[in-house]
A and B are shown apart, each in its own frame.
Chain A
């Protein structure tokens, strides 16, 4: 038996691939989870510090603020700074050079805004009786340090905010991975191979025995690895909770809580809503049940992902065991040349088109904004909320004494504008292009080449330049179009003030730049229609109209349909014209979907909402594409 056949007989390749993929993906998941765990631990420590300090400040009263902050900062090197802000004033700071109390300077405006934000959040929570707004705010932009802001209360009333800055602590709770385990897995793996080989070599054993050994080896190896890492993960969580408990105890000692109220200690280890986690008792001990529950909650997503990875590995292995992989490999080998030619473009498309696309869709199901980007995905996940907000908002118009007032921010208004925009533009483009192509296709027309060169110009000029040029020409005060109107005795028009006139500016610009494409496409198709068909028709007595209707149009169809499909998609997504000519004026009434999505993303920084908006746009285009294909059966010509 050849070595090659012997190897394929015991599925060594399949087993190796399945195990490697599963272990690599699991390791990657664990790595991510451990990083999140570490981040959360550090955040938790910072929260404990901030909560404890805020409580100490409240207990001591406003006169003691400076002293307490300085004592707090000087006792540990990682404590970098602490300030208390009340309204426009900085009423205390751990740094002497701040010279508190003093008024905030211009550069400290964000602190003032933050204080107002927390005040509003606290009032909302109190008045609604539901904890909905976060009371502890982390500065996500801060590097190498945690910057935490919590409310500062004076006699139970909101008096301002406390902001502390703590350096990253370098030590790692999760400990080192045991390499003794690795040796064990490898020996199991080798043992499985040897066993499979032995079974394979003996003809009296059932044929499927090596497969069963491979399966068992795969399950044993991967599950064992996962359970080991999970144990380490759980141990690290326990260890970090202990450390938080000792931090709580340290803080209690420093702030001398016995004098105030020992129970206050249990209020320090909280979530971002300042709700106690209930894991650390007043005496500093860890409550086992509560911690286990908290940990199980946190580990849920990780465990599910691990199961998914395990399933993926199993599918891979089964694909090998049942022979699908061999067939796949045969296919690839058989069509190797074709795949080699397609591969560069396909890889590029996968990485830079399809992956970003899927990533964008995923983003649509989160509540990502500029400010919470760095949080793990699991914390940003909100499900279909964005889609409900977009599609479920039917607040399209209101009626009052003056009539109907449209809500230009509504999705359905923008959709309507987009559809009207697309239909009018494509109609204008096709009509102009068709007329010009028919004229230019006339035999013996003098100066045809010159006309064509000039008429193609708009296509050659970059469209953003065209857009900005037309914006200049539509300038309400000095624009040349209003000058022309006045030349003929008409009143100047405030182009960007009215919904219809503003829409017209976009239509004129886009009409100007899009007819050459249609003209060239139609002209090319017209020239390929054999002349003798017309001659035959003329001999038969067909009128000019009949020739157009029964020869030209049917023969143009294979060219026109793809061109129109393409042009509809382009116009639907024609960002530059709307964005640069009218900018959606007035009051966003002339936004099309794509410019609206851009503004949501890059003016409001609501990345997730914009992603959901874009997803809706994509679905609309997809439905249109499928519909169009069905109707015209245009697929043949691709």
Chain B
């Protein structure tokens, strides 16, 4: 035990170095968000800055602390409306995505039926479909044929289906680890398929469901290409589409962007950190035997 102490020291040093690199961009965004101004620099540097002025310019702390960016992005810009759109779309996507993934994964895990292997392979292959190839046909199907442009539902069904393959894989991996004996004894006790699935399997698979839900939610919450194509009216923008507009044009409003980013990231980051105890078990359940 004593022998190992020195090696812990360099481990801590390495970890601290990594932590600094990891956390710096986050602090940088926070500094801009609370700076109350729109420029991309943390402070305004004079023409010929000294060493300490430069050092000050990279320290991620705002010159004047202010919540002006947050209040303005919420009141003067339509950001609140966009956040609401994103929230509705993401929650609906999560519900639909989890339902579709659980049922399909359960069938792939528990039943042996003709087409099972082909179905799994198709799911795998679909992960390789380039997004740009799907974008134009999806636009034609959703907007032109189904008339679902500028609606929540159009985005929700596309997001839910694109998240299916990954979720199914993950759920199947987890279902595989649940002993089949449990189900067999339930069958002997006279339970139906539905009862087994909803009353026994789903409660046991909570960690994996949490991951699937998180993944579906993040798919919808973080997507902006499809959203920008489907949602043409400004009132229907989702948060990512809105955020891109702050820094997309010539007069970039970095302060609004930073404040908006903090608001958009906060729920997913908190969810993510809250669910991370499930994360490791959920991700590795299927692959490590």
Q: How far is the CA of A360 from the CA of B126 in the complex (A)?
A: 13
Given A479-B40, A637-B287, A464–B161 Cβ distance below 8 Å?
no
Nearest CB on A from B206, distance (A): 17
CB-contact partner of B240 in A464, A528, A559, A607, under 8 A: A464
One of B61-69, B70-78, B112-120, B182-190 contacting the partner: B112-120
Q: Pick the contact of B136 from A461, A479, A559, A601 — CB < 8 Å?
A: A601
Across the interface, A524 reaches (CB within 8 A) one of B122, B127, B283, namely B283
- The residue from A345, A520, A601, A638 contacting B164, defined by CB atoms under 8 A apart: A345
**Chain B 241-284, CB within 8 Å of chain A: the 1/0 string?**
00110010000001001000100110011001100100111011
Interface residues of B in 182-237 (CB under 8 A from A): 193, 197, 218, 221-222, 224-225
Contact B288 A559 (CB under 8 A): yes
Please name all residues of chain B whose beta carbon is closer than 8 Å to the beta carbon of A525 when the two chains form the complex: 284, 287-288
Q: Closest chain B residue to A461 by CB distance?
A: B265
Q: Give Cα A210 to B273, complex, Å.
A: 69
A465 at the interface (CB under 8 A from B): yes
Question: Known: A341-B104, A349-B123, A559-B288. Is A360-B136 also a contact (CB below 8 A)?
Answer: yes
Judge whether B143 is part of the interface by a CB distance below 8 angstroms: no
B54 touches A469 (CB 8 A): no
**Known: A468-B243, A614-B132. Contact between A524 and B281, CB under 8 A?**
yes
Q: Measured between alpha carbons, how far is A378 from B125 in the docked complex, in Å?
A: 30
Cβ of A622 < 8 Å from any Cβ of B? yes
Q: Return chain A residues, CB-CB under 8 Å to B22.
A: 454-455, 457-458, 512
A339 contacts B by Cβ under 8 Å: yes
Asked, given contacts A472-B40, A472-B254, A575-B225, whether A610 binds B136 with beta carbons under 8 Å apart, the answer is yes
Q: B243 → chain A, closest Cβ, in Å?
A: 7
Which of A337, A344, A462, A559 interacts with B268 by CB under 8 Å?
A462
How far apart sit A354 and B165, CA to CA, in the bound complex (Å)?
A: 12
Chain B residues with Cβ below 8 Å from A461 are 26, 265, 268-269
- Enumerate chain A residues within 8 angstroms of B180, measured Cβ to Cβ: none
Cβ contact within 8 Å between B28 and A469: yes
Known: A354-B122, A466-B25, A575-B225. A346 touches B104 (CB 8 A): yes
Binds B, one of A9-17, A71-79, A306-314, A483-491: A483-491
A480 and B132 form a contact (CB under 8 A):
no
- Per-residue interface assignment for chain B, residues 96 to 128, with 1 indicating a CB less than 8 Å from any chain A CB and 0 otherwise: 000111011011100101101001101111111
| List of B residues within 8 angstroms of A524 by Cβ | 280-281, 283-284, 288
Q: Is the CB of A355 within 8 A of B137?
A: yes
A342 at interface by CB-CB < 8 Å? yes
Partner of B287, one of A459, A559, A569: A559
Check B83 for interface membership: any CB of A closer than 8 A.
no
B273 to chain A, nearest CB (A): 6
Q: How many positions in chain B have a CB within 8 Å of any CB in the partner chain? A: 98
Q: B120-153 vs A: 1/0 string, CB under 8 Å?
A: 1011111111111111111011000000000000
Smallest distance from the beta carbon of B176 to chain A beta carbons, Å?
Answer: 10
Closest approach, in angstroms, between the C-beta of A438 and any C-beta of chain B?
9
Determine the distance from Cα of A249 to Cα of B4 in the docked complex, in whole angstroms. 103
A558 touches B100 (CB 8 A): no
B106 to chain A, nearest CB (A): 6
Q: Is the CB of A353 within 8 A of B168?
A: no
In the complex, the answer to whether B257 meets A468 with C-beta atoms within 8 Å is yes
The answer to the question of A578 belonging to the interface, with a C-beta cut-off of 8 Å to chain B, is no
List, in ascending order, chain A residues with CB within 8 A of B289's CB. Answer: 558, 637
B122 to chain A, nearest CB (A): 7
A348 interface residue (CB < 8 Å to B): yes
| Shortest distance between the CB of A28 and any CB in chain B (Å) | 15
Cα distance A470–B254 when bound, in Å? 12
**Distance (Å) between the CB of A545 and the closest chain B CB?**
15
| B55 at the binding interface (Cβ < 8 Å) | yes
Asked, given contacts A355-B141, A462-B264, A483-B57, whether A573 binds B131 with beta carbons under 8 Å apart, the answer is: yes
Contact A472/B126 with A558-B289, A559-B284 known, Cβ cut-off 8 Å: no
The interface residues of chain B lying within 8 Å CB-to-CB of A352 are 138, 141, 157-158, 161-162
B99 engages A344 (CB within 8 Å): yes
Does A453 make an interface contact (CB < 8 A)? yes
Can you offer 17 A-B residue contacts whose CB atoms are under 8 A?
A: A354-B122, A439-B15, A451-B19, A455-B15, A459-B272, A462-B240, A462-B268, A464-B240, A479-B41, A480-B41, A483-B57, A512-B22, A528-B284, A559-B288, A593-B130, A601-B135, A625-B124
In the A-B complex, the 6 residue pairs with the smallest Cβ-Cβ separation, listed nearest first, are A614-B133, A338-B111, A524-B284, A356-B137, A345-B104, A341-B107
